[in-house]
Structures are given as C-alpha cells and as structure tokens.
Structure 1
Amino acid sequence: MADWIVLAAISVVSASFAILWLLPRRQPKAGDYGLSAPGALFNVVFLFDGDRLISHSDVALAGYESVSNWADLRRLLQRDFPAFPETPEIVRSEGNIAVSAIDCTVEREVLCEWIDGIIRVQLRDLTGTASNPRRDPNDPIRLAMEQAPYPVWLVDNRNKVQWCNAAYVSLVRKIVGQDADLTDPLFPSLTDEAQLGRKTRVSIPVRGGSAKIWFDLTRVARDQDQLCYAVDINAIVEAETAQRKFVQTMAKTFAQLSIGLAIFDRNRQLALFNPALVDLTTLPPDFLSLRPSLSSFFDRLRDQHMMPEPKNYRSWRRQMNDLLEAAQDGNYQETWSLPSGSVYSVSGRPHPDGAVAFLFEDITAEITLTRRFRAEMDLMQSILDKLADAIAVFSDDGTLATTNYAYQMLWGDSDEAGFEPVTVLEITRQWQEHCTATPILGEIREFVTGRENRAEWSGELTLKSGGSMTCTVSPMQNGATIVRFVPGSAAKDIAEMRKISA
C-alpha cells in the first residue's frame, strides 16, 4: 500500500514539473496584460487536454478569464487569428501549427504544439526575435505580397478574410475605422464563378460621404479559398466621368449648331450627328440612329438628291476613301450646288485616331447675296459705260477702283485697269504724258489721298496737242473720290496722238 502511495506522489510531482516546464518561465511587467495591450501576446500559454483547459500561465489570467475550453479561446482569437484551428483534433493530426495574424503588419502568431497528448497553445510576439524559418523575412514571395502597393487578401469559402497585406489593412481602417474587424470582407463578394480570374469593377463607399472609391477586383480560386487583388482605378473612373460629361456637353453644343455635323469613327461607322444634319440632308433620324457606314451615308444622300451627281461616282468614292486614309494634314472641301437650288459647303476633317468629321453648312443665302451683289456691280458698271463722260473712281486708300468705257477710250486703258492695284500717282503720271504742265494733277493727288477740305471743284486740262477738257473732282462716301472728264475736241486729239505714237 505504501508503494502505491509513493508511486502516486511521484506521478503528481512529475506531472507538476511537466506542466511547469510547458508553461513559460518569463513573466511580463505589471500592466502588460490584456488582449489589446502591447505585450498581450507575449509568452501567453494555455494547456489543453482535448477540449478542456487544464492549465495556463499567470499572465493569461488577464483578459482570458472566460476561457475554460478550446471553443472559448478560439472565439477570443478568431478576429485577429481567423486561421486558428477549429478543434484540437486538427492540431493532433498536424503535430505543430503556427497561426499568423490576419494583419501582416503585426509580428505576432499563435503556436499550437502536440506534446504527448497535451496541446500547448502559445501566443507570442515575434518582434525582436530571431528569424523564424517558417517566415523568412527575405522571402521574395512574402515581400511581394505583404508590401504590394495595392490590397491583397485571402478569403475562405465562408467569405471570411483569413489574411491580408498592409495595403488592405490601411484601406479598411480608412474606410471602416481603426477598430474594424479585418475578418469581415471590405469588398462585395462575387457569386458568379465566371468572373473568377477576371477583372470586375466594384466600388466601396467612403465613410461619412456619398463619394465612392473604385477598384478593379480580381479573384483567383484555390482549393478552399480565394486570393483577391484590388487595383485602385479611381483616377480612371474620374477621367471616364469627365470624358462622358465632356461628350454630353459637346452633344448639347452640337445640338444648337446650324451646321450639320456627322462624325464617323475609325471603323467608318456614324458615331455622332446633330439635329441640324437631319434638317439639312433630310435623312430620316432612324436611319442615322442605325449608325450607317460612310459609303451608305453618302449613297443615301445621292439617292435623295442631296448631293450633286458626280460625273464619276466611283472615282469620287475612291477620293473619299483616300481622304480617310490620308495623312493628318489632309482636308476635304467642296461646294455642292443641289438640284433644289440650295448650295452647301461640305468639309471633311480627318483625325489622327482614324475618325473623320463632316460638316454640312447651308451657304445658299451667302451665295445668293454674293450673286446679287455681283449682279448689282455689273449693272452699275453697265450704267457707267453708257455715260459719255470719262469717269475714274478712286478708293479711300488712293488706288483706282473702277473706270468706264469712255475713260478707257479717252486715256487708252484696258477694261482690266480698274481691277489692278494702280495708285493715283501712277494714274496722274499717265495723264501728264498727254497734258501740258499743270498744278491740277498734283491737286487731284492731294484730294484723293487727303481727308480734309473735300469739296467738289473743277479745272481745265490743256493737252499737248492744243486741245482742252474740263476735269471735275467730287468726294464720295467712305473717303472715295470720283474724277470726271468732260469729253470735247480733246478726246479726238488724244486718240490721234495714240495712233501717231503707235
């Protein structure tokens, strides 16, 4: 009986020494207790016999009073160590398990060891410790993942985050707050398996505002989890939004233009048109909305007689194709006179990206006004030519503007003289060749180029042949001057002198 008592005592002492050996020998400083304390995960040890907690280090009492079994400890550690084993049997089958914190910026881990039927769980701080062979700080793969400038995280089949890099942690704290639960996914889950491995544009709202941050989310499937990557595309989305607003603004502006606009993209399909194009070309809007090709567009114009019938339509089509394929400085400009009497100015502007814009402008009123003005000018010239007096009109800058038929017969100038930039000095020199010296020609020059004392006056010119004529100088509107020569015997004398010199 005594032997049994001694044997039992030895067993108890041995078990006590074993437990003391499993528990940590170093005690932390006072006040360094609790899960949230800086040293909370340093040298905290729990011993389990199956699910049951059989012992723990003294420091574990602070913050872990409610731990009585494996499930209690897992519930406390799940937020920071979501990969903590669900049951002790997992540790028994694996032998030793090192569980890293979900936040890769935290140098802490939970070490689970199977030692002769006892499970030893140690919560330890790795800061300042020797390099762990399981976590090589120089591992390029680890460095690439943990220090990547964009968020990277791992989610399990229950859509819980198991691991994340520093960029993900920083983003979560910025969006949710400093106390955010990292196991709750920040990004929406993708249920469509077809999207796995592909980029998906997602947005997350910013706390305290209506703004959103946009990302390209990529999920890569693994056996029991998914590795996720997020790339910030906020600048791209903002640029697209600005471009879309710019296009809308331009479309509203184009809608107010009286010039018809047709823009064809690089595939020669109609990409944009304005209401003025419908009014000018009479093409139905439903046809334009179908985005016809460039050739179909001009074929339809030809069918509706909204363009002049080309002598060789095939060569004209080839010219259009050459325009689109020409260099950046190529331009197309034509004036179309339509059978209806309207006149359109059509221009094409190729762009470096392969697009081309055609502008259709109705210049009928302008052409009509020009034609009317030209007709009135021809009428006035005809009236001047019917007058017996020789007339020369000078503009305000002293150049000869026009003459009549009698003037041309008198002085021998051609009918084109009035359209050449001939100055009053040159004209009076021509007159001087047929006249005797007189101050009248100098006074005419001063009157034509002057701006003051412009009253009508007359003078007599004596020809070298002995004849004379009356010269009348009169001011006109806008600084112009009209010089009138009254014909007489002088005209015949000048004509005879021209024949002799010829």
Structure 2
Amino acid sequence: MQDIVSVEWLVLVALCAATAAIAVWWLSPGAYAKRMEHDLLVGDGRTDAVFLFDDNALIGWSSGASKFIGENADGFSWSNLRDQLSRSYPGLPQSPAFLKDVGPLVLSGTAGADSREAHCEWIDGITRVQLRRSTLEEQNKSLDQELTTLRAAVHQAPYPVWLQSEEGDVTWTNLAYDDLSHKIRGRDADFAQPMFDELDEPKASGRPERISIALEENDKKLWYNVSTTETEAGWLCHAVDVNAVVDAEIAQRNFVQTLAKTFAQLSIGLAIFDRNQQLVLFNPVLIDLTALPANFLSSRPNLMTFFDRLRDQRMMPEPKSYSSWRHQMADLLEAAAEGRYQETWSMPSGSVYSVSGRPHPDGAIAFLFEDITAEITLTRQFRTELEVGQSIMDQMDEAIAVFSKDGTMSFSNEAYHALWNVDPEASFAKVSINDACRNWQECSAATSAWGAVRDFVLGTESRDPWWCSVAMRSGETLTCRISALPNGTTLVRFHASEPASLPATQQRFLSSHP
C-alpha cells in the first residue's frame, strides 16, 4: 500500500514538472511572437494576401502576398507596399503609425484591384494588412449588380444603341432605338430591318461617321453620328443625334454666304486675320486695291507675308530700310490689336489709301483698305481754289472782312489788315464782330455806325445793304459798305473812293470828323 502511494506521488510530481515546463515555454516571448505571427498570417481564404509590419519593416507574409513582394523580401518596406496598392486601394495610410491612432481601416478596391477590399489594423505593435478576395457568392452578387447597372445604363441611354449581326439583321435594341423606329417607321415595321443601313464607312474607318435617315412624310433628314464596335455577338452600334449641329452648320454657311455677298458689294477692301495671324477672309475689292493675286490670298498667307507682298508690289509706302520696316510692322500689329491703327498711305503711283486696323473677338484682326484718292484730290483742289481766292482778295485795294452768322470773322484780306493794323491769323482766338467794332471805334471818330454793323451781322435788324462814310482819326474818310451773303454771312468793305457812285438811298450815318 505504501508503495502505491509513493508511485502516485512520483507521477504527480512528474506531471507538475511537465506542466510547469510547458507553461514556461508557452509564456516565453519568442514562442508568443511566433504563435502570434502565425495567427496574424491566417487569412479568410488560402489565397488571401497578408502582410505583417513592425513599424515600416516587413516581418511576415502569407503565400498569397509573395507576388507583391517578389524576391527582395529583405528590402521590402511599407513604402514599397503602398506604392503597389495605393491606386487599387485609395486611402492607404502613408505610415503604419496612422492605424495606431485611428484604428482599423477597411479600404474598398477599385475596379482594377485583384481583391475586393483591404483590411488594415494595428495589433500590439504589429501592423497587419489583408487583401480579402470575394467569395463566390459575393462575386455572383457583384456581377448581378454590375449586369443590372449596365443593362439600365444601355436601355436608358438617351441615344439609340443596337446590336447588328454580320448578315445585317438587328438582334437587340435599347429603348431610344425603339422610340426612334416607332417615330419613323411605325410600330408594324420589321424589327430585324435596320434603320441605319449604310454602316460600311464607320465599320471600315473605326470612327464615327455622319449618316442620315430620310423622313417619308417630308423632305427632311435626321442626322446621326454612328460608331460601330465589333464584338463576338456582332456589331454594337451607337447613334448620337447631331441634328442641332447640322442645323448650326447650315445657318453658319448661309451666314458666311450672306457676309461674302455683302463684302463683295463693299467699296472698301477687307482682310481678316485669325488669332494665328492667318488670312481667313477677304473680299474682291481687296484684290483690285492691292493688285495681289487671288491664288495668293486664297493660300491663307500669314500677316507678315501679306504685308511683305504689299511692299514688293509697291502698294504701301516705301520703307527706308527692311529692319525699320519690320519694327514698323510690329508697331502696326500692336496698334491694330488695340484698335489704334489709322493711317493714310500715299503710293508711289499717286493713289492714296486710308488703312485702319480693328481688333475682333478671339484675337482676330481686321484691316480695311479704302481708296480715298478722289477725296484727297478733291480736297487738294478745294484747298488750291481757296488759296487762289485768298491771293486774289489779297491783291485787291479794297479792305474786306466776312463775318459768319454767329458773328465770327471767317475771312479778311491783306488790305484790311493794313488798314486796321490787325492780323487775325496771329491769334488762336477767333475774332468776333464785337472785337472788330471795338478796333474800328479806336481808329475812327465817334459814330453809331459800328453798332449798326454789329446788329446787321448778328441779324437783329434788316438785312438790306447800306453804306456810310467814316472819318478816321488820321483825317482820312472811308466808305464802309455792308451787304448780306448767303447762309447768314455778312460782307463788310472799306475803301477810300468817293461815294458819288453809290446809291444815296442806302447811305446812313453822315460822316463826322474828329
């Protein structure tokens, strides 16, 4: 009996010693770390990729993560992982320490990601990243959702979409195609017969081609940009309504034609350059004025080439040197862009052009060339006639002064200047009838004649002609004659001749001597 008790005690002691040894091994740091690492590497599936990081250093990974790590596991860090996964899983932290502060993160993968989502968490100093793959049920559910979305997107698309076989039969359509077919062909039309039967061009080019559908009830056409994509089920076709674009193009074309007809009737040469300084529009008058060939203008020369050709044709003022001409052209362009360019070109041929530059929207510049030779010639002739008339008046002995309707002196001759010792041209201010009367009064004896002259000029009394004799302070007697001219102007003449030949009935104010 005592032996049995001794054996039991020995067994008990052995079991306690073994248990203590196992407990010491289990609680040792190395074993705990290995066991923890093993648990953390276990994913939800055998193919899940799991990464373990101690700070930024990789300390463990599953077999599914090997394709991300490659052969250089020792140099693989958190930054390497983030570089590979940041596009597929937006929001992956810059540093593992971020997870310690904010807690676990679940990041949804993009469409191009291998796994559905990424789980990131911080566990007792270890950062764990698991890329979870979808289960078969989840994949099927996701595919069903995607299929439902795609069907809704295609069926509810605002433009016609259809599938066409190699034989040319329509095998599937969306709602927009059906609505268009009912509108054009009615509800009894053959479904397999395509509305768009000229698909050779888009099939061959691979680009959208403009195709029209004729409406039977009128001569109108509906225009669409049709594109095709070859698939296993046939040709997938898309038609985009471009009727608004076609209408706008027609309106623009008609507008341009109207402008062209209008420009053709102008007597002013027009040249419009776009923002790239290319000639985009000109009228026939420009050809006549500049003598530039039509084929040259039609080739859309740039602005500098255009003015170079004008210089070669001697259709602009001859520059002193080519370099100075270049600077002149730069100044011209700057002034035209600001709307400040306005010059008169005198040609070697004798012609005179008025050239102006005007800015237009979007950086375009318009130049207008107007032949003002006749106008300049007429102006010069008129100026010459005025100068000749002035010379004739200056040669007369009679002193003459002409006053306008408002009382301003508009003309006087040299005899008048010498008689009254004045020179109206020497002053910037205009000489009024009051100024003239004051001057006359200073040089003559007192008389009320000057007041009557003033009233005559200003139209406050009768405009019948009259004359009077005026005694000068020098002792000389002058005859003053006042007569009306057209448009309310007045002619005042002074001469020293005897008044015997003048009508006595028109005399006023008997002369008085100083």
TM-score above 0.5, yes or no: yes
Please, which of 313, 324, 337 is the counterpart of residue 304 of structure 1? 313
CA gap of 1:384–1:151, structure 2 versus 1, over 3 A, is same
Report the CA distance between 1:208 and its aligned residue: 0.9
Alignment of 1:269 onto 2:278? yes
Alignment of 1:211 onto 2:215? no
CA gap of 1:135–1:364, structure 2 versus 1, over 3 A, is same
What root-mean-square deviation, in Å, do the aligned CA atoms of Structure 1 and Structure 2 show? Answer: 3.0
State the match for 1:478 in structure 2.
487
Alpha-carbon distance in 1 for matches of 2:203, 2:228: 11
Report the CA distance between 1:241 and its aligned residue: 0.8
- Report the number of matched residues: 358
Alignment of 1:426 onto 2:435? yes
Deviations 1:228-279 (A, max 9, x none): 2222221221111111111112212222222222223333333232222222
State the match for 1:106 in structure 2.
none
Please, which of 284, 292, 296 is the counterpart of residue 301 of structure 2? 292
Alpha-carbon distance in 2 for matches of 1:210, 1:135: 46
Task: Answer yes or no: is the 8 Å Cα contact 2:337–2:365 preserved in 1.
Answer: no
Question: Could you tell which deviates more after superposition, 157-166 or 187-196?
Answer: 187-196
Q: Match of 1:368, SS?
A: helix
Report the CA distance between 1:406 and its aligned residue: 1.5
State the match for 1:200 in structure 2.
209
Q: Which sections of structure 1, spanning at least 5 residues, go unmatched?
A: 1-131, 490-502
Report the CA distance between 1:135 and its aligned residue: 8.0
Larger radius of gyration: 2
Deviations 1:385-411 (A, max 9, x none): 111222111123322111111111222
Q: Match of 1:210, SS?
A: coil
Deviations 1:39-60 (A, max 9, x none): xxxxxxxxxxxxxxxxxxxxxx
CA gap of 1:379–1:181, structure 2 versus 1, over 3 A, is same
Alignment of 1:401 onto 2:410? yes
Alpha-carbon distance in 2 for matches of 1:210, 1:331: 51
Task: Answer yes or no: is the 8 Å Cα contact 1:205–1:212 preserved in 2.
Answer: yes
Task: Answer yes or no: is the 8 Å Cα contact 1:323–1:330 preserved in 2.
Answer: no
Task: Answer yes or no: is the 8 Å Cα contact 1:391–1:403 preserved in 2.
Answer: yes
Alpha-carbon distance in 1 for matches of 2:187, 2:460: 85
CA gap of 1:451–1:328, structure 2 versus 1, over 3 A, is farther
Alpha-carbon distance in 1 for matches of 2:460, 2:259: 50
CA gap of 1:210–1:318, structure 2 versus 1, over 3 A, is farther
Task: Answer yes or no: is the 8 Å Cα contact 2:201–2:209 preserved in 1.
Answer: no
Alpha-carbon distance in 2 for matches of 1:488, 1:328: 65
Alpha-carbon distance in 1 for matches of 2:285, 2:150: 61
Please, which of 234, 243, 247 is the counterpart of residue 234 of structure 1? 243
Q: Which sections of structure 2, spanning at least 5 residues, go unmatched?
A: 1-140, 499-514
Q: Percent identity?
A: 56
Task: Answer yes or no: is the 8 Å Cα contact 1:388–1:487 preserved in 2.
Answer: no
State the match for 1:248 in structure 2.
257
Please, which of 167, 173, 178 is the counterpart of residue 187 of structure 2? 178
Alpha-carbon distance in 2 for matches of 1:324, 1:158: 62
Deviations 1:309-345 (A, max 9, x none): 0124433334434554668533322211111111111
Runs of 4+ off more than 6 Å: 132-138
Report the CA distance between 1:452 and its aligned residue: 7.2
Alpha-carbon distance in 2 for matches of 1:327, 1:479: 44
Alignment of 1:143 onto 2:171? no
Deviations 1:471-497 (A, max 9, x none): 1111112221111112489xxxxxxxx
Alpha-carbon distance in 2 for matches of 1:324, 1:338: 21
State the match for 1:382 in structure 2.
391
Relative to the length of structure 2, the TM-score reads 0.63
State the match for 2:466 in structure 1.
457
Alpha-carbon distance in 2 for matches of 1:401, 1:206: 77
Deviations 1:5-62 (A, max 9, x none): xxxxxxxxxxxxxxxxxxxxxxxxxxxxxxxxxxxxxxxxxxxxxxxxxxxxxxxxxx
